[in-house]
Amino acid sequence: MVEAFKIIGGQPLKGTLKVEGAKNAALPIFVGTLIEKGTYILRNVPNLMDIRTLIKLLESLGLVIEKLDEHSYKIENKGITNLVASYDLVKKMRASFLVMGPMLAHEKRATVSLPGGCAIGSRPVDLHLKGFEALGVKINIEHGYVEAIADDLKGNKIVFDFPSVGATENVVMAAVKAKGTTIIENAAREPEIDDLCNFLNKMGAKITGIGTGTLIIEGVEKLYPCEYSIIPDRIVAGTFIIASLMFDGEIIVDGVVRNHIESFISKLEEMGAVFEIEGNILKVKSKLKDLKAGKATTMPHPGFATDLQSPMMTLMCLVNGTSEIKETIFENRFMHVPELNRMGAKISADSSTAIITGINNFSSAEVMASDLRAGASLILAALKANGESIVNRIYHVDRGYEKLEEKLRAIGANIVRFKAEI
């Protein structure tokens, strides 16, 4: 039996939705505490399943982790006691592969299970490995595990074929203590990478070029533990902004950093949305009926984020005219399309392009979340559809949205969690 949401949609939603810390920044930063012994304090960590999964993995490697309050942790690194990240723990979450870089920095060796595929695509780790090899690491893949070993990590120039988020993070963490200077060209530029680099610099690393496609990492002998607070989650913020647009601006979003989601905001403005942003508070000043069709293509940051593609599609379903979304980052990221169509949407899609014809409203139905962001798009649709919808397999949603049903209930949604048959 797995958990599902029962949602009676069509209720007006009004109030404030608070954005917590960014999952995708918290994960690499947690992993970064493997690099050097000492006691770390991390704050503004979201309370999510993915964080709990990662904590189990880090504990299996020898870290002692204590929860101080809902969003803060104390992490004690007294040395890595186990140099093997097992399949059991890595298969649950791909980001687990990030332990390889810090373990190499700390111990010059690591054995990490290959993560395997996932619902949205095959997601290889070739770019991570290419980066490590450039630093002098010998890689051997056997029995589903990557064994990495180096006499010495040496700085080098690395040019990524594609600005992979995970590969950039992994290689940066391996390079901070390498001998000499590492230059990563075509590095990913996501705000979560900036946050990781700022954390590492607070530990004493020497990383420049942060926020650009060229990261320069001057290796240092030693780093020092520190206290750090994670940035807000721009994907959760974007999802809540879509909710606000769908509910005529009655929802205020608290925790928006505009320059983290600039292309998303300007895409929505192109479609007719009007925003008022003061500090981190965003208010929508337009009505759903005023929005017009739009076109969005997912791109590495600062382009339109693939993680906001499915919530955007839900909004486009409710907008007059024909919209289009092109997915260029993952090969299989339209699994919400047939589910949205079960709710009355008119979307036709091949593997990379979806054409969305506007409808008046969704019709309630039983649907299934196939991954985290797909789940969010279905919940948004169910909140709007009149009548009872069931969204199955919400364990996906729990990976990335903290206490979603409590937050939605507090602004007027009729949503309950229950144990379902599927």
Which residues are known to be catalytic? Answer: 118
Q: Is 24 in the site for ligand UD1 (CB under 6 A)?
A: yes
- Residue closer to ligand UD1 by CB (options 193, 316) is 193
Q: Is 202 in the site for ligand UD1 (CB under 6 A)?
A: no
Distance between CA atoms of residues 318 and 361, nearest Å: 6
**DSSP percent split of the chain into helix, strand, coil, nearest 5:** 35, 30, 35
Binding segment toward ligand UD1, per CB under 6 A, in 9-17, 66-74, 119-127, 287-295: 119-127
Concatenating the DSSP letter of every residue in 222-267 gives: -----EEEPPB-HHHHHHHHHHHHHTTT-EEEE---GGGSHHHHHH
Q: Is 123 in the site for ligand UD1 (CB under 6 A)?
A: yes
Distance between CA atoms of residues 288 and 246, nearest Å: 6
Distance between CA atoms of residues 362 and 342, nearest Å: 9
The residue nearest ligand UD1 at its CB is 166
Q: Tokens for 69? A: 């309050």
Q: Is 162 in the site for ligand UD1 (CB under 6 A)?
A: yes
| DSSP code, position 47 | -
Exposed/middle/buried for 12, CB within 10 Å: 0-12, 13-18, 19+?
Answer: exposed
- Residue closer to ligand UD1 by CB (options 304, 362) is 304
Distance between CA atoms of residues 330 and 324, nearest Å: 17
Q: Is 116 in the site for ligand UD1 (CB under 6 A)?
A: no
Q: Is 230 in the site for ligand UD1 (CB under 6 A)?
A: no
Q: Is 389 in the site for ligand UD1 (CB under 6 A)?
A: no
Half-sphere exposure in the Cβ direction for 318 (13 Å, CA): 25
Q: Is 193 in the site for ligand UD1 (CB under 6 A)?
A: no
Distance between CA atoms of residues 35 and 222, nearest Å: 9
- Residue closer to ligand UD1 by CB (options 75, 236) is 236
Helix axes 165-175, 191-202, angle to 10 degrees: 10
- Residue closer to ligand UD1 by CB (options 124, 387) is 124
Residue ranges of the alpha helices (H) in 284-328? Answer: 309-317
Q: What part of residues 75-104 is at the interface with ligand UD1 (CB under 6 A)?
A: 94-95
Binding segment toward ligand UD1, per CB under 6 A, in 38-46, 116-124, 206-214, 309-317: 116-124
- Please pick, from the candidates 247, 330, 362, 401, the single residue that binds ligand UD1 as defined by CB under 6 A: 330
- Please pick, from the candidates 71, 106, 108, 128, the single residue that binds ligand UD1 as defined by CB under 6 A: 128
What residues contact 243, with CB distance under 8 A and at least 6 apart? 13, 17, 251, 380, 383
- Residue closer to ligand UD1 by CB (options 162, 418) is 162
Residue with token string 């647009």:
245
What residues contact 52, with CB distance under 8 A and at least 6 apart? none
Radius of gyration of the chain (CA): 21
- Please pick, from the candidates 12, 116, 117, 121, the single residue that binds ligand UD1 as defined by CB under 6 A: 121
What residues contact 299, with CB distance under 8 A and at least 6 apart? 263, 328, 329
- Please pick, from the candidates 51, 200, 329, 411, the single residue that binds ligand UD1 as defined by CB under 6 A: 329
Binding to ligand UD1 by CB under 6 A, coded x per residue (else -) over 335-354, reads --------------------
Exposure letters 193-222 (e unless 16+ CB within 10 A, then b): bbbbbbbbbebbbebebbeeeebbbebeee
- Residue closer to ligand UD1 by CB (options 127, 223) is 127
- Please pick, from the candidates 125, 246, 340, 368, the single residue that binds ligand UD1 as defined by CB under 6 A: 125
Binding segment toward ligand UD1, per CB under 6 A, in 123-131, 340-348, 353-361, 406-414: 123-131
- Residue closer to ligand UD1 by CB (options 186, 357) is 186
Q: Is 264 in the site for ligand UD1 (CB under 6 A)?
A: no
Q: Is 165 in the site for ligand UD1 (CB under 6 A)?
A: yes
Q: Is 109 in the site for ligand UD1 (CB under 6 A)?
A: no
- Residue closer to ligand UD1 by CB (options 333, 384) is 333
Q: Is 307 in the site for ligand UD1 (CB under 6 A)?
A: yes
Q: What residues make contact with ligand UD1 under the rule CB under 6 A?
A: 24, 27, 94-95, 121, 123-128, 162, 164-167, 188, 192, 306-307, 329-330
